[in-house]
Chain A
Amino acid sequence: MCGILGLLTTTGIQPPFETFVAALDRLKLRGPDDAGTWREDGLLLGHRRLTIVDLSQAGHQPMESSDRRFVIVFNGEIYNHAELRPGLTPQNGWRSTSDTETLIEAYRAWGVRCLDRINGMFAFAIWDRTEQTLFVARDRMGVKPLYYSHRSGQFGFASRPGALNMLLADGALVIDPEALRVYLEIGYVPAPLSFHRDMRKLPAGHYLLVNVRGVRRVRYWDFRSIKPDPSMNSRPEGELIEELDALIHSAVKLRLMSDVPLGAFLSGGVDSALVVAAMKSAGVGHPKTFTIAFKEKAFNEGPAAASAAEHLGVDHVHETLDVNSLLDLLPAYIQEYDEPFADSSAFPTMAVARLARRHVKVALSGDGADELFGGYHYYPLIDRLAPMLGWRTASKRAAQQFLKRLPWHRTKLLAGALQSQNTVALFHYLRSVGKDYPTLLSGDLLHSTANSETWFAQYAASFAMDLSAAETAMRLDAGVTLPDLFLQKVDVATMAFSLEARCPMTDYRLAEWAMRLPMHYKLRNGETKYLLKKVLNKYLPASHVYRPKMGFGVPLAQWLRGPLRTWADELIHDDTLMSRVPLDKARVRQLRQQQLAGERESHPLLWSVLMLLCFVQSHDAARALPVIAYREVA
């Protein structure tokens, strides 16, 4: 787990090396143990290393291949690298036990097709001196981030957008208008969009080939077209439980590859408990597990985690915090997420990462299981609402009018959901931060950009035929929300404390298996993660497995009315700051008033606005005012 940075120029014009080093320093928390750079004609490569596998200098990067034709910078882990080694023959034998060396030799032997053989989380770049081509790739499920920029004969890439922006634009902020709109609608920026106009985020499962002819982006792995397999219905349920259990064990076992101590996050939920159970089975005697407990009962998963830890027989470490103390993390939150990021569950994630880093350098987490196996509460809801979308307009209107007249906010939201034209639109509505709240964006921006729903529609256009509404939603979550929101959150939150997070549930074999699994093994009679819970029930009693799910949340609405009230009001009433973003000031202030008065649950949208303002504020106003780059409107 590291940070990488690179620049390839065909113009002969390069930024000063000091600028490159300064940009590389922005990745220091991702890799505090070592740093390296590589310079040759038109090429600069940089690497910050967090030593996990092969702690010696033999694992130093950038690294050359054995024939010196290729040079690599690599962020991540190739979990099956030991299995690949016997099939590879580096000149003069292996020099290290590092997976980086395995990866570059795999590319030397198999070229682009090496991606089909490796199992891991990764973002890397390999320079081919002979072909003068840069090969840049990101892992299948999008665990590790990679940003790139290509313009004016320069191609740059980095693990963090801030580092790349510093390298290419001297830190000046030019906001991408479409990213801004999408962000304010869904609270994050999905790939390939990036908040910086001339920057893109490499989508999961893609690689780039860069040379003088240009940049070609290619998808090398995709689960979208995998059909649910009806033959699984005829197999005994017990057989499927065993198969899933074996897959999880295999995924976890691969992720135990480490030369440093490792542990796991353990909440009171299903996914992390399964990961820990698999760690135990894989021979980790007493794995260290970490939980943040809160004094406030509504947010406290501490007792459930402790109970799971006791059953599983692990070395459990917990820290009990006052939930408001998480606010100490606000500066780090704003600083480390280089783009506006509106998921407030980043706070507890950062807190548990901070705790874990005091004890270990690597922690396994259960992220990914909800999206693959049907863990979110809105999946059953989508299945129930989807048939209503096909109702005649008059019937839908009548149902909406009825729901709107009921006194509860949730029924009003439901009325809004019925306006959706199809399942994708319904999913988009349920995942949006503003729901039915009128847009806060200015008219110019709305006219020059596309609705964020079109991104989901584009992604869903290649889904297998005849999926149920809930399956459609789950695939959208697995392909868009997971990499660009949840895995992004985990990556940044853990890297902020130089902790490597590994997510066994994102193993591509598990993902492919989950896509084939028929729906009633995911949702059954309103029960979420049906089969996954059956697996966990092998290791934990039913009372733990089937306890109500508790969100990984913070009391955001209360914070914004209490300890964050002044901070939020100052941001919103800062006219200079507000003038830099294309928002309707009056509507933003009205939103704030309604939120303060408790009239509607609008805090997710308000939080998105505040994070945007913080992001803009954090850029040095003296250097350049942020610019919104409007596309030409036809």
Chain B
Amino acid sequence: MASRDAAPRVLFLFTEVYANGGIQRFNQTILDACDRLGIRCRVLSLNDSADSTAKRPQGSHSVTGFSSNRGRFVLAVLREVMRDRYDCVLIGHVNFLVLSTMILALRRWHAPRTMLIAHGIEVWSGIGGVRRYAMGRLERILCVSHYTRRRILEQAPALIADRLVIFPNALADTWARVPPVPFSRPLPSRFILSVTRLEPGDRYKGIATVIEAFSMLADESMHYYVVGHGNDLPFLQLVAERCCVKDRVHFVRGVSDSELIALYQKCDAFVLPSGKEGFGIVFLEAMFFGAPVVAAREKGAMDVVRDGETGVTVDFGDVIAVKRAIEKLVRDGELRQRLRSNGRALVTDGGPFTFTCFARRCAEVFGMGETSPA
């Protein structure tokens, strides 16, 4: 661990930390990594509530939530920047770019290094003149996937390409410490699994496609578990009913991490042919627990799931291909084993998406040189 005095002071401006979702998990992981590195962090989180932040263990970082109150959030950011000298300000969402411009204006002398985390969908379009200007003044843009980097450069070709670095997500360290427990209800002998939000705006996750593909499988002993919740549940239940598989499609919510591990470990395949994953951290989770993965050949997921190596990929929306992929995985034990082993290699023993590797990338980004995390 770096000595406390040498460690940089970093201000994080996040949308949310303590909730489910890819961005939130990324935020938690980066804070864990900073803890590991001894980086002194101050976190201002727009959408977290004071309650949610108070209940969490906060290591060497302190988190303040603003319960979606934008005015208070902005004032707090400016106050924080004026009061303390931070070595670095990490902006967790493109919508906060205006804050980075304000910070740089206020701190013209002794300006902190400013960086943006570009996750995915929020930067794939809509980068207009103001955002381009703000991006141009950042020291770095940390892109979670190659696709995200490419999309930003397509919209802002004047940016210096070297400043856009690939900074992929990683499996949170905590997963290895979660004690697995049996799933609270008896599980069928064969089932496929998806883990995702179920909001009407998130239909790009491909759950309706999976339901249709699932309904075409010859094996009627197969079940489908969808872990997640959201307002699109009635629609997806309707789709399952119309496909005549409502008895074998199970929407479950409130699943603990321990139970989720049981589902990952026992499923025949983890299927999420999503069309707009910025990165797709759930794929890493599935791989860590040995679930063979089916994903769509789209955007950020392609950095993690490579066809025939770490999973099976299909075109987004291709119902027939999803059906065939599931059948192939169920039928071909050798393929399943190969995918399991290659998938685990990505997230264990120094693989590129391990927490250790992620912490090393953090150390580099925050100017801690070759500091090796403990």
Binding site for B on A (CB under 8 A): 192, 213-214, 216-222, 224-225, 227, 421, 450, 454, 457-458, 461-465
Contacts and interface: CB of A to CB of B under 8 A. Distances in A.
A350 to B, nearest CB: 33
A461 B203 contact: yes
Interface stretch (B51-59, B66-74, B316-324): B316-324
Interface string B195-222: 0000010011010110010011010100
Nearest to A454: B238
Given A217-B216, A457-B235, 9 more contacts: A192-B242, A214-B220, A216-B218, A225-B317, A227-B315, A458-B208, A458-B242, A461-B208, A462-B209
B242 A464 contact: no
B126 to A, nearest CB: 10
Nearest to B322: A462
Contacts of A219: 212, 216, 319-320
Contact of A464 (B200, B239, B316, B319): B316
24 contacts: A216-B218, A217-B216, A217-B244, A218-B323, A219-B319, A220-B320, A222-B318, A224-B319, A225-B315, A225-B319, A225-B321, A450-B238, A454-B235, A454-B238, A457-B235, A458-B208, A458-B235, A461-B209, A461-B317, A462-B317, A464-B315, A464-B317, A465-B298, A465-B316
B276 interface: yes
B275 interface: yes
Contacts of B215: 217
A216 B244 CA distance: 10
Contacts of B275: 465
A220 B235 CA distance: 24
A462 B208 contact: yes
A226 B323 CA distance: 17
Contacts of A463: 317
A214 B216 CA distance: 13
Nearest to A463: B317
A217 B242 CA distance: 12
A393 to B, nearest CB: 16
Nearest to A224: B317
Nearest to A206: B216
A214 B220 CA distance: 10
Nearest to A200: B244
A486 to B, nearest CB: 23
Nearest to A192: B242
A192 B238 CA distance: 14
Nearest to A460: B203
Contacts of A458: 208, 235, 238-239, 242
Nearest to B242: A458
Contact of B216 (A218, A450, A454, A462): A218
Contacts of B321: 225
A462 B319 contact: yes
B212 A465 contact: no
B249 to A, nearest CB: 14
Contact of B318 (A192, A220, A225, A450): A225
A217 B220 CA distance: 12
B53 to A, nearest CB: 30
Nearest to B298: A465
The 7 A-B residue pairs with the shortest CB-CB distance, nearest first, are: A461-B208, A225-B317, A462-B317, A225-B318, A465-B275, A218-B216, A462-B209
Nearest to B276: A465
Contacts of B238: 450, 454, 458
A224 B273 CA distance: 15
B235 A225 contact: no
Interface in B317-358: 317-321, 323
A286 to B, nearest CB: 43
Given A458-B239, A465-B276, A465-B298, A225 B316 contact: yes
A228 to B, nearest CB: 13
A389 to B, nearest CB: 13
Contacts of A464: 315-317
A197 to B, nearest CB: 15
Interface in B84-99: none
B198 to A, nearest CB: 12
Nearest to B205: A461
Interface in B233-262: 235, 238-239, 242, 244
B91 to A, nearest CB: 24
A422 to B, nearest CB: 8
B216 A465 contact: no
B124 to A, nearest CB: 9
A633 to B, nearest CB: 13
Contacts of B244: 217
Interface string B298-318: 100000000000000001111
A192 B243 CA distance: 10
Interface string B128-139: 000000000000
A225 B206 CA distance: 12
A193 to B, nearest CB: 9
B319 to A, nearest CB: 6
A458 B243 CA distance: 11
A217 B209 CA distance: 15
A631 B319 CA distance: 29
A557 to B, nearest CB: 35
Nearest to A631: B241
Contacts of A457: 203, 235
Nearest to A205: B320
A213 B218 CA distance: 11
B235 A462 contact: no
Contacts of B276: 465
Nearest to A216: B218
Contact of A216 (B208, B216, B298): B216
Contacts of A225: 315-319, 321
B128 to A, nearest CB: 14
A454 B241 CA distance: 13
A233 to B, nearest CB: 15
Best-buried of B203, B204, B239 by chain A (most CB within 10 Å) = B203
A450 B242 CA distance: 11
A464 to B, nearest CB: 6
B218 to A, nearest CB: 7
A192 B215 CA distance: 14
Contacts of A220: 320
A623 B244 CA distance: 32
Nearest to A215: B244
B85 to A, nearest CB: 39
B224 to A, nearest CB: 15
B327 to A, nearest CB: 11
B132 to A, nearest CB: 21
A465 B319 CA distance: 14
A365 B317 CA distance: 31
A454 B318 CA distance: 20
A214 B242 CA distance: 16
A457 B212 CA distance: 13
Nearest to B201: A422
Nearest to A461: B208
A462 B218 contact: no
Interface in B156-210: 200, 203-204, 206, 208-209
Nearest to A462: B317
Contact of A222 (B200, B204, B316, B319): B319
A297 B22 CA distance: 62
A629 B242 CA distance: 17
Nearest to A218: B216
A507 to B, nearest CB: 20
Contacts of B208: 458, 461-462
Contacts of A227: 315
A218 B206 CA distance: 18
A216 B222 CA distance: 14
Question: Of A214, A219, A458, which is in contact with the most chain B CB atoms at under 10 Å from its CB?
Answer: A458
A137 to B, nearest CB: 14
Nearest to A450: B238
Contacts of A192: 242
A421 B200 CA distance: 10
Contacts of B209: 461-462
